[in-house]
Amino acid sequence: MSTALKKSPLARVKDDFGGKDKLVDKIVGVLDSGDESKDDLRKRLLGVANKKLIRLFTVATETKQAGGHDKLAAATADKLGRAKDKDYVAKLESFSNGRLIDIMSAAERRQGAAAAAAAPGAAADGAKAPRAARPARAPKPVAKAPAPKAKAKAKGGSKSAKKKR
């Protein structure tokens, strides 16, 4: 889809959720508000930009599907192939949910690209063919040494000529 045909965040909110109020209600239902009441959270979210609300909803639902923050961190470490490294998993647990989801999606893309490159018919599927090797270049000619400069005669105007007199 080209960038000219993308919908604005306002249009996406209206089409996908039926309005900003309904999107905020869905987010409040999915999020754990912690020590903040749901009404205060709702008031605060109504002032947030539509694009940020869409991102927040996506992150919250994916975190909930993964089973929570700790399980999301473990799944991310597993995708990266470092599930047995306890220190690395502990470091991932210190990251935000959004960052964990971004790291996991990047790891999935890398695995997909590696699998596509390893597939036998990858070049026939529209991937670029490897470039042919360039022919060897001829060596550059050696530059000539600069010609010696002719000495100018001093006619009494220069200081060095006056000192000699």
Give per-residue pLDDT as tens, 35-66.
788 889 999 999 999 999 999 999 999 999 99
| Tokens coding 143 | 């530059």
Chain position carrying tokens 């647990």 = 93
Is the model more confident about 132 or about 19? 19
The pLDDT, as a whole number, for residue 147 is: 74
| Tokens coding 142 | 């050696």
Phi first, then psi: give them for residue 86, nearest 5 degrees. -65, -35
The pLDDT, as a whole number, for residue 128 is: 62
Give per-residue pLDDT as tens, 152-164.
665 655 565 555 5
| Tokens coding 50 | 């539509």
Give per-residue pLDDT as tens, 120-140.
664 555 556 667 777 777 777
What pLDDT band is residue 145 in, cutting at 50, 70 and 90? confident
Are the beta carbons of 101 and 59 closer than 8 angstroms? yes
The DSSP letter of residue 158 is S
d(CA 6, CA 22): 22
Instruction: Please check the confidence at residue 18 and state whether its pLDDT lies above 60.
Output: yes
Say what the pTM is. Answer: 0.62
Give per-residue pLDDT as tens, 82-107.
989 999 999 999 999 999 999 999 99
d(CA 63, CA 73): 10
Instruction: Please check the confidence at residue 4 and state whether its pLDDT lies above 70.
Output: no
